[in-house]
Structure 1
Amino acid sequence: MRIHHLNCGSMRPIAPTYEGLPTTPAVNHCLLAETDDGLVLVETGLGLADVRDAAGTLDTNWTAMVEPALKEEETAIRQVERLGFDPADVRHVIVTHLDVDHCGGLPDFPHAAVHVLAAELEAALREAPSVRYRPAHWAHGPQWRTYESTNDRWFGLDAIRPADLPGFVLVPLSGHSAGHTGVAVHNGDKWLLHCGDAYYYHRELDEAPEPHPVMDIVQTRSEVDHDERVGTQSALRTLARDHAAEVTLFSAHDPWEFGRLTG
């Protein structure tokens, strides 16, 4: 299938920890996949309502911390339209979790089925409104498709294969939120694994991991289970080392990973 990499919401500029890369805004890395059964959107980033009325949909502490650019042209719906598609062609949305910057665009695709781990949806409905979970993002009543644990495996990791999404695999990556998952999709050449917020900076996958000094503040403040998050990163480090020829990993907010994948 053809896959488009989209930045659906630039945020505050960040500097790399080593020379050779520019200071650049953090991103909300989303995927748009063209399938035989319509379009599949992996993550939505921020949506039209967030851009037009941030005070009404987003937490003020969150916006002060991450400094979102709030550009309408960066919303998923506007990018889908620029690619020549009707937003109604988006049949499915898969979210790694329901933090504001990962599902803010759900209201822009009201007819799409929304795939999420059951534990994540339960936590969002229970804890909202909060900094991370904002009820405006699901007030339209999404067509939720929820998933529990499974005995399936994908490159040694737990896996869930949605019946109506051939070619996609949910890979639970615990620690960041109550029901956080990665999303794997095969592009015809190799697997892409969207790791969501399981890690924030590409050097966290190095054998000698190096967190980003700014993004790690967000990462540690938002974790729900420190040991599980660290264990998840260790598993991803092993995957990146042992299966580099078969799987490309990337996170939701690292702008340099996004730059490599978009050329």
Structure 2
Amino acid sequence: MRIHHLNCGTLRPPGGAMVCHVLLLEVDERLVLVDTGFGSADVRDPRRLGPLRHVLRTALRHEETAIAQIRALGHDPAAVSDIVLTHGDLDHAGGISDFPAAHVHLTAEERLAIRRRRGPREALRYRPAHWPPRADVHGHAPGEGRWYGFEGVVDLSQLAPGLLLVPLPGHTAGHAGVALPTEGGWLLHAGDAAHSAASLLPGGARPGVHLRQGLLAHDTGALRRTQRRLTALATDAQEVRILTAHDRGSWERTRAGD
């Protein structure tokens, strides 16, 4: 299995530029995406993103979409058989419509939250244009697996060798991370559970970012508990490399080794 690190959406909110860190997995003759970033329809019509596009200050470019980067790598986008989402926010799920034949995987709780869209926060983050009725969206109930003390882990090794969906609640109702075994140890894409891997280390969290995360969170208490567990993982498990969705520096470092 080969892992590509893509930036599928540049964001310029107050405080500095960010990326939408997407993983593209080559699994035999198939391709699997972990998150999608923004899609080609978002580039054509930014209004699909709603008011949050003005806050995120999205730099929508076709060449940054997953479908364009898959083609640039010499692959057929039709080879994308599955998409695994950390959560359904507009900057993570905008590209699913570019892959109509792909099966979409996320937690059952997140799928339910997307369908209900209760309250103004969920109405902003889950865009109806990104979520038309589809029979191939699979909401996975909590599994029986454990991974470094995290419970309810879902085994998705049928999609890619060793792939796990790891519940990391708080940012959204059913937010999860995606863990993959690699030659150098485990890789955990922690989505929006933290601002950056560095922010999980003692003294690494900036007060302003900490406050902003709390304001965006579905459940601030659950988010802080998740972050404490990730901090323990980052401190104690040297064989686990944690990536987050919007850390530009981390994306640039991992891309350099791609």
Kindly provide the CA deviation profile for residues 179-209 of structure 1, in whole angstroms up to 9, marking residues without a partner as x. Answer: 0000011233321100000001333211234
- Equivalent residues in 2 for 1:23-172, closer than 5 Å: 25-36=17-28, 38-55=30-47, 57-60=48-51, 62-127=52-117, 130-139=123-132, 141=134, 143-158=136-151, 159-162=153-156, 164-165=158-159, 166-172=161-167
CA contact under 8 A between 2:166 and 2:177: conserved in structure 1? Answer: yes
Q: Cα offset for 1:218?
A: 4.0
Stretches of structure 1 lacking an aligned partner (at least 5 in a row): 16-23
CA contact under 8 A between 1:3 and 1:187: conserved in structure 2? Answer: no
Task: Provide the rounded CA distance (Å) in 2 between the counterparts of 1:14 and 1:254.
Answer: 14
How high is the TM-score relative to the length of structure 2? 0.92
Stretches of structure 2 lacking an aligned partner (at least 5 in a row): none
Kindly provide the CA deviation profile for residues 19-59 of structure 1, in whole angstroms up to 9, marking residues without a partner as x. Answer: xxxxx62000000011125111000000011111011x111
Task: Provide the rounded CA distance (Å) in 2 between the counterparts of 1:93 and 1:4.
Answer: 14
Q: Cα offset for 1:64?
A: 1.0
Task: Provide the rounded CA distance (Å) in 1 between the counterparts of 2:214 and 2:66.
Answer: 28
Q: Which runs of 4+ in 1 moved over 6 A?
A: none
Kindly provide the CA deviation profile for residues 119-166 of structure 1, in whole angstroms up to 9, marking residues without a partner as x. Answer: 101111101771100111122626112211122111121221025223
Identity among equivalent positions (%) equals 43
Kindly provide the CA deviation profile for residues 204-232 of structure 1, in whole angstroms up to 9, marking residues without a partner as x. Answer: 2112342363x445422221111110010
State the one-letter code of the partner of 1:5. Answer: H
CA contact under 8 A between 1:201 and 1:212: conserved in structure 2? Answer: no
Task: Provide the rounded CA distance (Å) in 2 between the counterparts of 1:13 and 1:126.
Answer: 28
CA contact under 8 A between 1:112 and 1:142: conserved in structure 2? Answer: no
State the one-letter code of the partner of 1:35. Answer: V
Q: 1:207 aligns with which of 202, 211, 216?
A: 202
Change in Cα spacing, 1:140 to 1:89, as seen in structure 2 (3 Å) is farther
Say whether 1:230 aligns with 2:224: yes
How high is the TM-score relative to the length of structure 1? 0.90
Task: Provide the rounded CA distance (Å) in 1 between the counterparts of 2:181 and 2:42.
Answer: 31
